[in-house]
Amino acid sequence: MQKRKLGKSNLEVSALGLGCMGLSYGYGPATETQQAIGLIRTAFECGVTFFDTAEAYGPYRNEELLGEALSPFRSEVVIATKFGFDFDAEGGQSGMNSRPDHIRAVADAALKRLKTDVIDLFYQHRVDPNVPIEDVAGTVKDLIAEGKVKHFGLSEAGAQTIRRAHAVQPVAALQSEYSLWWREPEKEIIPTLEELGIGFVPFSPLGKGFLTGAISETTSFDSKDFRNIVPRFSPEARKANQALVDLLGRIAAGKQATSAQVALAWLLAQKPWIVPIPGTTKLHRLEENLGGAAIVLTPEDLRDIEEALSAITISGDRYPAHLQARVGK
């Protein structure tokens, strides 16, 4: 697989990473441990060198899983993890916490869970309104100086926060949602990243599964599946958004590819410093997704997609209101 550099940071990773959240959290029951380890190691064998996790995924279980799965080839991969939440006794998020002492404690705990002596990319998971971003960036800067962290990242941050953080400690990457059905970052975020030389790591590049074509208005999700509370996944919204999936299917047929592969190829074609991190629990989906890195969309293809998309209105908010309130700060 081809490599890409995340902005001016010189952090080089595979063109597609692996988002590991769904193996432990968010989409129903956790994947059996050995099966999950097998999938992560298969991804590495297929050329993936960029793996994304967070203390919040479980919590903690996902970091432990990656630590075990990646330990045989730790020096050959880049691990990204995140800080920024408190958790209650049941493991639920009980509020944001990016106080400097908490960031330090999370870093030390994550190093143990990941079985490593350095975190390659340490993201603030969500902007904490109670802690100045300069204090957050300064704390990570200190952790970098101490050799515990290599690079600093932000997730779902707004343009002004990115600028303020970057002035204290260069931000290597921003991780936010971006895909054919969530293009909000094109307005302000992507131009800001380009100006500052920051890489972009889109999560949910397949629209939380919707862009694969495997989900219809009649699909039912596990009771623990996050998508049950997402307005964009209401049956009515899924029915309305089917036009986008149909469009992808037509383009994919012409490329002898799948809808998922075209959706990933479209992201890769936007900027050379964009590295999507699709997640999956299934080996055949992993192999399909990685095939997206080999699909080349011509300028004509991209114009055709743009023209067709302009006639489609996406229905439904991407988050319920209480979660939307955490982003873009």
Residue 329 lies in a domain: no
Question: pLDDT tens-digit profile of 139-192?
Answer: 999 999 999 999 999 999 999 999 999 999 999 999 999 999 999 999 999 999
Residue 224 lies in a domain: yes
R_g over Cα of the chain = 19
The predicted pLDDT at position 247 comes to 92
Distance, CA of 177 to CA of 126 (rounded, Å): 13
Give residue 183's domain range.
3-324
The predicted pLDDT at position 37 comes to 98
Residue type, 37: I
Question: pLDDT tens-digit profile of 103-152?
Answer: 999 999 999 999 999 999 999 999 999 999 999 999 999 999 999 999 99
Nearest-CA neighbor of 237 among 323, 322, 317?
317
Question: pLDDT tens-digit profile of 201-229?
Answer: 999 999 999 999 999 999 999 999 999 99
Catalytic residue among 27, 57, 60, 178: 57
CB under 8 Å to 117, separation ≥6 — which residues?
111, 147, 148
The predicted pLDDT at position 109 comes to 98
The predicted pLDDT at position 29 comes to 93
The predicted pLDDT at position 122 comes to 99
Number of domains in the chain: 1
The predicted pLDDT at position 54 comes to 98
The predicted pLDDT at position 237 comes to 95
Instruction: Compute the mean pLDDT over every residue in the chain, rounded to the nearest whole number.
Output: 97
CATH number of the structural domain spanning residue 90: 3.20.20.100
The predicted pLDDT at position 42 comes to 98
Residue 99 lies in a domain: yes
Distance, CA of 89 to CA of 121 (rounded, Å): 28
Q: Has 57 been annotated as catalytic?
A: yes
Question: pLDDT tens-digit profile of 3-49?
Answer: 999 999 999 999 999 999 999 999 999 999 999 999 999 999 999 99
Q: Among 65-69, 71-75, 79-83, 324-328, whose mean pLDDT is lowest? A: 324-328
The predicted pLDDT at position 228 comes to 96
The predicted pLDDT at position 3 comes to 98
3-state SS, one letter per residue, for the chain:
CCEEECECCCCEEECCCEECHHHCCCECCCCCHHHHHHHHHHHHHCCCCEEECCCCCCCCHHHHHHHHHHHHHHHHCEEEEEECEEECCCCCEEEECCCHHHHHHHHHHHHHHCCCCCEEEEEECCCCCCCCHHHHHHHHHHHHHCCCEEEEEEECCCHHHHHHHHHHCCEEEEEEECECCECHHHCCHHHHHHHHCEEEEEECCCHHHHHHCCCCCCCCCCCCEHHHHCHHHCHHHHHHHHHHHHHHHHHHHHHCCCHHHHHHHHHHHHCCCECCCCCCCCHHHHHHHHHHHHCCCCHHHHHHHHHHHCCCCCCCCCCCHHHHCCCCC
